[in-house]
Amino acid sequence: MSLTKAELVTEVERIVGRTGLLEPAGQALALGLEDIAMKHDFREMLSLSAADVAITIADDNSYASLPDAYLRLKFVWLVRGTSVYPVDIKTHQWISREYPFVGTPRWVGYEQLGKFYFRPDPLTGDKARFQVSLAPALATAGSPIPGIDRALIAFAASWMFDSLEIPESADRWMDRYELAARRAIVSDRRSNLIQKPSLVGSTVPQADLEELLGDGPESLEA
């Protein structure tokens, strides 16, 4: 069972040998949660868009608006009726260099300023489906991510020792944080908690996808 925020603070106080650290230790724990979230997308951080998003159609500039306040864009699908097509996430520079494609047809796109742009252009009525990772927040009940209490405590202890200008202890506890964070990430991966969602709608065989895209730019034809 995960520790509550008060219990996490108590552990930090015990390590540092000080009391009355609720505010600074709480801040340090929140910073630790932010740091470990930047290292890895835990299951509790992943969010599938609650509803499919409308796509604004424009020549070589079709886009859908991304969710607010996300850390990383994980997966994108183009939804056409009951069919769902995976979309490869690339950079704008990559698409500018490689598009239009020669060979196997596929959907690709890039994120920019809160929008996701598609290549080739979808059809009117197509929608987008996103999965993103969201920044976790430390609550009174503790971390929303199980299994990382050791890492959070070690990070906060290091942060507190650094603020007290005790560098040796700060370095030692930062090393412990990095080790605990790696173990938590490895455990999460071994549990197969982070995987591409499979229940996102029906899929379409490659032959059908080629037929659908065959009416588009000639360079998309096999």
Average pLDDT, the chain: 86
Per-residue pLDDT reduced to its tens digit, 115-139 = 999 999 999 999 999 999 999 999 9
Whether residue 130 is found in the same domain as residue 210? yes
Whether residue 148 is found in the same domain as residue 168? yes
What integer is the mean pLDDT of 87-114? 88
pLDDT at position 101: 75
Residue 141 pLDDT > 70: yes
Which among 104, 74, 78 is positioned nearest to 203, based on CA atoms?
A: 78
What integer is the mean pLDDT of 86-107? 86
Residue 206 pLDDT > 90: no
pLDDT-derived band at 26 (thresholds 50, 70, 90) equals very high
CB 36 within 8 A of CB 28: no
Whether residue 90 is found in the same domain as residue 164? no
Residue 89 pLDDT > 50: yes
Per-residue pLDDT reduced to its tens digit, 52-73 = 999 999 988 999 999 988 899 9
pTM exceeds 0.85 for this model? no
Whether residue 164 is found in the same domain as residue 56? no
Q: What share of the chain is helix, strand, coil (3-state, %, to 5)?
A: 40, 20, 35
Whether residue 33 is found in the same domain as residue 73? no
Q: Which domain range does residue 53 map to? A: 46-134+199-220
